[in-house]
Structure 1
């Protein structure tokens, strides 16, 4: 078994954006299944997240697409679910936004999305192309850049579709429509979300740095932190969390933003992080240390 952060450090299960263009080896060998919208976009203002959701196709071809964010920025968690994905493998797919958008080709997990089965989930997705890395200091710099520099409205508006691809299978081509207005609404939601945490969003857009871990976060959780009663029954979990970090770089509060449960995983994450997590605190551009936050995802993976 292992416990890993979803987006930081070498050797972790990384949900990262693929930099390379779609390779010829993944070229479409069959005509795509084209799905048109069958509902409007719905934006859910939850206590700890903002979620866009829309349905596409009808009957047995109906799929659900969700785009979720847990903070301001440009990355999001992507889920596509429905019967057309029945024979797709989470280990061998690519999800690509187009034309000329970002693509995600690793770190997917399979599951269900309410009554929609199967579902494929990916994190650290981006609507537009971007560089990515596994170094946590560079990751923090990219997170701050995303917070400070939203994409141009016309760039997001140019994204029109999402395609799920796997070699030797007919792609599922989802006609999203222009993503300009939906993503603008999402950004407004996440900015409001952060104000509920006591975060000055405008001030954070002027920071020199967000909190940076003083050592690799992968050292904050060990196999000993895997709840034994959950490991015994092979239970696995995905935990979205947020740490409040004071001006000395110490966590003052651990908050679970979303969890696949059981709750034993939630308690294990917060107990370990409050004890071991330490940071270089956030600084203003004039060098003043201020209170801020740090958020990430932890996965408990049994049997590997």
Structure 2
């Protein structure tokens, strides 16, 4: 699990031979909390130093509903503390991870996220207190621009990439900076995005 911005959502990834048999959707159960709807997953291969790459599935997830427009976090530290296992199901197959309480790992992830926000030059407390989450507009226009520079040799092999985009905006909602973070792909795409 990893988080790239403030909020309750995070990237959930699972790797190993068992995920090869998973379909394109998975259901994730965090302890006794109400499960989210089925997730569409992306597939990739994760490099492991000198060992063969491992199969990987990943998606965006949360222990509960995302913060609503009232600004109230809907996932509490008590909810995180209550989770001691994660079950992942897909197409009749399942994997259960006995994790122990997720309270401390999520507390550590919040600290890391606060440090990340501070590294952007923003005040984490101000960001946490915002009444509204920003939502990107016009994805149908700018997402294809990113897809256009995806290397054809990777597309021909059916290889996927995940590109996280960090856009900082001013108080009027106008973008001031944008940065691309490429995960699970090759150097050529990273280099192409760096020139944008």
Whole-angstrom distance in 1 between the partners of 2:151 and 2:59: 24
Is 1:75 equivalent to 2:12 in the alignment? Answer: no
Is the 8 Å Cα contact of residues 70 and 257 (structure 1) preserved in structure 2? Answer: no
Task: Tell me which of 29, 36, 56 is aligned to 1:119.
Answer: 56
Whole-angstrom distance in 1 between the partners of 2:57 and 2:86: 13
Whole-angstrom distance in 1 between the partners of 2:164 and 2:146: 20
Whole-angstrom distance in 2 between the partners of 1:144 and 1:76: 20
Aligned match of 2:76: 152
Higher relative contact order at CA 8 Å, sep ≥6: structure 1 or structure 2?
Answer: 1
Q: CA 1:190/1:143 → structure 2, altered by over 3 Å: closer, same or farther?
A: farther
Note the 1:137-286 alignment, pairs <5 A: 142=68, 145=71, 149=73, 151-169=75-93, 171-213=94-136, 215-222=137-144, 226-227=148-149, 230-231=151-152, 234=155, 236-259=160-183, 260-264=185-189, 267-268=192-193, 271=196
Whole-angstrom distance in 1 between the partners of 2:182 and 2:132: 25
Is the 8 Å Cα contact of residues 97 and 159 (structure 1) preserved in structure 2? Answer: yes
Alignment root-mean-square deviation, CA: 3.0
Q: Shift of residue 268 of structure 1?
A: 4.9
TM-score by length of 2: 0.78
Is the 8 Å Cα contact of residues 65 and 75 (structure 2) preserved in structure 1? Answer: no
Is the 8 Å Cα contact of residues 151 and 188 (structure 2) preserved in structure 1? Answer: no
Q: Which ranges of structure 2 fall in alignment gaps of 5 or more residues?
A: none
SS of the residue corresponding to residue 219 of structure 1 reads helix
Q: Which has the larger radius of gyration?
A: 1
SS of the residue corresponding to residue 108 of structure 2 reads helix
Whole-angstrom distance in 1 between the partners of 2:25 and 2:73: 32
Is the 8 Å Cα contact of residues 102 and 130 (structure 1) preserved in structure 2? Answer: no
- Normalized per residue, which structure has more helix? 2
Aligned match of 1:84: 18
Structure 1 moving runs of 4+ over 6 Å: none
Q: Shift of residue 103 of structure 1?
A: 3.3
SS of the residue corresponding to residue 96 of structure 2 reads strand
